[in-house]
Structure 1
Amino acid sequence: MKITRQKHAKKILTLYRYSFRFREPYQVLLDGTFCQAALKNKIQIKEQLPKYLMGEVQLCTTNCVLKELESLGKELYGAKLIAQRFQVRSCSHFKNPVGGSACLLSMTADNNPHHYFIATQDQELAAKIKKKAGVPLMFIIQNTIVLDKPSQKSVAAVQSGQTSQIIPEHQKQNIEHLKDEQELSKAPERRGKKRKRVSGPNPLSCLKKKNKPAAPPATSASEQAKRKRRRKRSKAAGTEALKAS
């Protein structure tokens, strides 16, 4: 597990501990989508979650989640077997079960008094959880369990003093840092025109030009005729010398 991921989780957990009274053992409510993703990515939830959160963890679910997985048949049979190993928390839908997402959302009502973490892959449920203050959200990305950054509601509640605990100075700095990260993630990317760099002269153009060798002077026709006559005379003289010998 990468150290950077643990540092990121530790910073977020510190906020929830100081501001929303989260304590070990951390209670993590899991739904069927999270169990199915863990099965698909071969993640050992019981082993990896305590290491990631750096503390004791209680994995739990609800009757509604188990009923939903049972109704979906063989496709989610493996996820149902995983969820059955967890502690079952009592919900208000024992007689009339509801969907897993609706049940988990109701478990965090009234400012999440039992300090539940919500572990889900359901995007709609995650969006609703982010509208609540003091509810940590977990999901799986690329074979890795991830603790999401505190929602804007959580950061706003801390800054406005709605939380019941006194926040140390070093924790206030972490909150400001988390707020800055959220604002940067929302800010649109600036796409300006690239400035043209002032380029110097082409180095090849600075080289001295090489002087071309001068062409030999052209000979006239009369000079060529004289040269031929000289060659003929020298040949004739040579032949006469041979005959005389």
Structure 2
Amino acid sequence: MKITRQKHAKKHLSFFRNNFGVREPYQILLDGTFCQAALRGRIQLREQLPRYLMAETQLCTTRCVLKELETLGKDLYGAKLIAQKCQVRHCPHFKTPVSGSECLLSMIEGGNPHHYFMATQDQNLSVKVKKQPGVPLLFIIQNTIVLDKPSAKTIAFVKAVEAGQLVSGHEKQSIRQLKEEQGLVKTPDQKRRKKRKRISGPNPLSCLKKKKKTQDAKPSSASRKKRKRIRNRSASKTVPSEKVNAEG
């Protein structure tokens, strides 16, 4: 059973790597429900997650999740201890904390640019996560960790990207926006900047041609002067010889 689970996980991971740029170490966002399920199932997340995903992992959470676990009291004290050992990612709710599910959803908005995995037992949160393309989903069932298969929204997104021109205008815009946020497509501003860099001053070849003309003109005038001098000298030399012949 364990081998088949790892085969499925390997297949799903290769899908997310090839289509959404998911890379190691995998960043896994945990909520309170997942921490509580791991505590009940006696699952050592730091040991079992890297084995199951066959890669290095980073357990992460947010301040809102920690605040929510504190307010729930003693019943989730063990889950709070597990969450406190995770890396805390900065969320936009520093001044006014929100619920854990709402905070985690805000972390994957805009095409999941940081390539987070979502680990939760909350069914409502899972449904909302599946509506966001490119977000791997983890949950615990029968005291074992399971990586869910790509959602229908994720598969539809990949097919739309592969279709290219066959996608409708609205879907094209959303696909292009997601790809730009993931760095897969260059924005028009980046293209304009490159064109501006290529613009330069006057053509250096035209300057070189002008210099060659001036150089060619100077030696031609000098050579003419030399020729005139040589002719004058030759003429002056011939005159006395003619006089000597005449006297003789």
Cα-to-partner distance string for 1:85-123 (whole Å, 9 max, x where unaligned): 000000000110000000001100000000000000000
> What does residue 11 of structure 2 align with?
11
- 1:160 Cα offset (Å): 1.3
Counterparts of residues 92-103 of structure 1 (less than 5 Å): 92-103=92-103
5+ residue gaps, structure 1, are 166-245
> What does residue 152 of structure 2 align with?
152
> What does residue 201 of structure 2 align with?
none
> What does residue 35 of structure 1 align with?
35
> What does residue 58 of structure 2 align with?
58
Task: Output the CA distance in 1 between the equivalents of 2:64 and 2:151.
Answer: 26
> What is the aligned-residue identity percentage?
70
> What does residue 79 of structure 1 align with?
79
> What does residue 127 of structure 2 align with?
127
Runs of 4+ in 1 over 3 A off after TM superposition: 162-165
Task: Output the CA distance in 2 between the equivalents of 1:35 and 1:110.
Answer: 26
RMSD of aligned alpha carbons? 1.2
Task: Output the CA distance in 2 between the equivalents of 1:19 and 1:154.
Answer: 10
Task: Output the CA distance in 2 between the equivalents of 1:157 and 1:106.
Answer: 20
TM-score by length of 1: 0.66
> What does residue 184 of structure 1 align with?
none
Count of residues in correspondence between the two structures: 165
> What does residue 90 of structure 2 align with?
90
Tell me the amino acid that sits aligned with residue 8 of structure 1: H
Task: Output the CA distance in 2 between the equivalents of 1:112 and 1:46.
Answer: 23
TM-score by length of 2: 0.65
Q: Does 1:111 align with 2:111?
A: yes
> What does residue 70 of structure 1 align with?
70
Tell me the amino acid that sits aligned with residue 103 of structure 2: C
Task: Output the CA distance in 2 between the equivalents of 1:73 and 1:100.
Answer: 15
Task: Output the CA distance in 1 between the equivalents of 2:3 and 2:118.
Answer: 23
- 1:2 Cα offset (Å): 1.1
- 1:159 Cα offset (Å): 1.0
Cα-to-partner distance string for 1:184-232 (whole Å, 9 max, x where unaligned): xxxxxxxxxxxxxxxxxxxxxxxxxxxxxxxxxxxxxxxxxxxxxxxxx
- 1:149 Cα offset (Å): 0.6
> What does residue 25 of structure 2 align with?
25
Tell me the amino acid that sits aligned with residue 51 of structure 1: R
5+ residue gaps, structure 2, are 162-174, 185-248
- Between structure 1 and structure 2, the one with the greater Rg is 1
